[in-house]
């Protein structure tokens, strides 16, 4: 599991850039973890869709409670 860092606020673009650089280098499959209450960043549907093209990224655990955003993510 990977979530945005809680100690440093990132934009959607900066978070996606980090994913693009680091995820392909990891030895294990990775899932994004959206928990904005603790990380200060809700992973936007557009970011999830863009991240879906990154090798080694397999899914999303959504603990945001934002049902509309989750539905939007799933539509993409």
Per the structure, the count of domains in the chain is: 1
Identify the domain containing residue 62 by its residue range.
Answer: 12-75
**Can 58 be counted among the known catalytic residues?**
no
| H helix runs in 23-66, sequence order | 36-39, 45-51
Classify residue 3: in a domain, yes or no.
no
- Cα maximum dimension of the chain: 33
33 catalytically annotated: yes
Active-site option among 31, 33, 40, 58: 33
For the entire predicted model, the pTM comes to: 0.82
% pLDDT > 90, the chain: 53
Instruction: Please indicate, yes or no, if residue 47 is contained in any of the structural domains.
Output: yes
Residue 54: closest CA among 21, 6, 7: 21
Q: Is the pLDDT of residue 3 over 70?
A: yes
Q: Do the Cβ atoms of 43 and 2 come closer than 8 Å?
A: no
pLDDT band at 76 (very low <50, low <70, confident <90, very high): low
Of residues 29 and 9, more confidently modeled: 29
Q: Does residue 4 belong to any structural domain of this protein?
A: no
Percentage of the chain surpassing pLDDT 70? 99
Would you say 23 and 31 are in contact if contact means Cβ atoms under 8 Å apart? no
Q: Is residue 5 domain-resident?
A: no
Ranking 5-14, 17-26, 63-72 by mean pLDDT, the lowest is 63-72
- Whether residue 38 is contained in a domain is answered as yes
């Amino acid at each position: 599991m990977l979530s945005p860092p809680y100690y440093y606020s990132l934009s959607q673009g900066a978070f996606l850039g980090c994913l693009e650089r680091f995820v392909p280098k990891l030895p294990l499959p990775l899932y994004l973890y959206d928990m904005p209450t603790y990380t200060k960043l809700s992973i936007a549907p557009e970011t999830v869709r863009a991240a879906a093209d990154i090798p080694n990224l397999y899914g999303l655990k959504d603990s945001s409670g934002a049902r509309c955003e989750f539905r939007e993510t799933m539509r993409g």
